[in-house]
Chain A
Amino acid sequence: MSDYNFAYLDEQTKRMIRRAILKGLAIPGYQVPFASREMPMPYGWGTGGVQVSAAVMTPDDRFKVIDQGADDTTNAVSIRTFFERTAGVATTTKTSQASVIQTRHRIPEEPLSEGQILVYQVPIPEPLRFLEPRESETRKMHSLEEYGLMHVKLYEDISRHGHIATSYAYPVKVEGRYVMDPSPIPKFDNPKLGDMAAIQLFGAGREQRIYALPPYTQVVSLDFEDHPFEASKPDHPCAMCGAENSYLDEVITNDAGGRMFVCSDTDFCEARQAAGHTGTMNGKDAA
């Protein structure tokens, strides 16, 4: 561990990131620029989230990493190992026991509590980017609250598909002011963003942006009076634990095209199974 600085980054970099986090918390949903550092992993691996985690972590933390809801992907394992080595922190897969959770594209099913921090890996922090490629213009649009184009885009969805087809990275408005990209979480997770007891921090490494949601912040998914926002998910119970209200992944079960729906949050699903809950593919109900 002595080969590294605590949590890898040098002190001056951590101070810079920490100052950006404080301004992010003071202006919820606004993207604070920061000078992203090279990390010993490729950009696609959540270097923005890793830098934010490094800046908030203390030796007493218990760290969890989820990748699309799972703790055991290559990406999740290497980030967890990185902080075990460089910060000497304890790690866990249990949501309730983690004090810092870094996530790629999901919010845990189990409600988070005060004292916990959720750190999101963000690929594209600018919700207006696909409408306007120039940063100088999107900055101007945010400063003038010029969000009409965003609504036009969503409404085009409705006229084309009969509903809003955007199902990931569904834009939200924070405290009635800034429109924010919640990172590519499924829109099923959007209602958990608001009024959360935990602190939510968002880090985009390649794009060099940090933004934040303090606890108990008002977060509203953009929608229309005649087409209200719906936090949809596949209409099945989990095949392993029987949960009716968790986000599900479709899993191919055999070469004959068999498939089933299971919880994307593996810790949630395993805890339910351990508590005796079963689904159609598991336990006594299995065919």
Chain B
Amino acid sequence: MQAQTLSGGFADTATASAVAFRQVMEAMARPGTIHMVTGAAPPAPLSPATGVVLLTLCDPDTPVHLSGALDCDAVRTWIAFHTGAPVVGPSHCVFAVGGWDDLTPLSAYQIGTPQYPDRSATLIVQVDQLEPNGAILSGPGIKDTHSLSLPETRAFQLNAGHFPFGLDFIFTCGDRVAALPRTTVVMHKGAV
């Protein structure tokens, strides 16, 4: 096993994952706000923030789908070693990880059932930029509006239209995370 596989996990799992979860929870509770996370050093092409989210939320109970360039030996073995999460296809995953273009079409993922809408996938989207500008967000968790650089708007509008079914998104970029639950209303900048 390569040294890269063994390294890059949390130094102190309990504390690091507690601190990281609070950032991820704030992100999900306040859609569009950007939070910094630390503690993971995963192999490329995973970003540090993607690594933190995986270490914080994934384990043998959460099948993970890897898409695009992220589906490589280095990432597979790192995830297996540090989380124990099985790697599966998109239709069976609890978490999916990848770039936006690689993760689409969104119809591939579970959006929950009428009685259990929580049984839906969470997509961890690794993006090239994550800035507080671009699309206009409103809905639960947002006092007036927030702005967030989303890879597109139409897919998120369609997703929100399925409520209470739907996917939830965690965006990662470098050491930062933001999130977009299914409840968020997304509008084009300028369309307000």
Contact = CB atoms under 8 A, between A and B. Distances in A.
Most chain A CB inside 10 Å of its own CB: which residue of B17, B118, B163? B118
A33 to B, nearest CB: 8
Contacts of B24: 22
B168 to A, nearest CB: 5
A175 B138 CA distance: 13
Interface stretch (A23-31, A72-80, A120-128, A153-161): A23-31
Where chain A touches its partner, the secondary structure class is: mixed
B140 A216 contact: yes
Nearest to A214: B141
B18 A217 contact: no
Contacts of A217: 140-141
Nearest to A210: B118
Interface in B158-192: 163-164, 166, 168, 181-183
Interface stretch (A42-50, A53-61, A104-112, A229-237): A53-61
Interface string A143-185: 1100000000000000000000000000000010110000000
A28 B122 CA distance: 16
Contact of B142 (A18, A144, A177, A216): A216
Contacts, number: 117
A56 B18 CA distance: 7
Contacts of A178: 164
Contacts of A16: 61
Interface stretch (A3-11, A63-71, A248-256, A270-278): A3-11
Nearest to A16: B61
A55 B140 contact: no
Interface string A203-217: 000000000111111
Contact of B182 (A14, A27, A58): A27
Contact of B25 (A56, A140, A177): A56
Contacts of A55: 21
Given A214-B141, A217-B140, A58 B22 contact: yes
A22 B118 CA distance: 9
Contact of A199 (B29, B58, B122): B29
Interface residues of B, number: 39
Given A58-B15, A59-B18, A177-B163, A12 B140 contact: no
Contacts of A199: 25-26, 29
A15 B56 contact: yes
Contacts of A20: 118
A202 B93 CA distance: 27
Interface in B121-173: 122, 140-143, 163-164, 166, 168
A128 B122 CA distance: 29
B4 interface: no
A72 B115 CA distance: 40
B20 to A, nearest CB: 9
Interface residues of A, number: 46
Given A30-B117, A58-B22, A214-B29, A22 B141 contact: no
B181 A26 contact: yes
A6 B143 CA distance: 34
A25 B59 contact: no
A120 to B, nearest CB: 15
Interface string B14-35: 1101110110111011100000
Contacts of B163: 27, 177
Contact of A30 (B18, B57, B118): B118
Contacts of B13: 11
B30 A11 contact: no
A106 B59 CA distance: 36
Given A199-B29, A214-B28, 5 more contacts: A15-B56, A18-B21, A27-B117, A175-B183, A214-B181
**A-B pairs with lowest CB-CB distance, top 4:** A26-B181, A6-B14, A214-B141, A143-B114
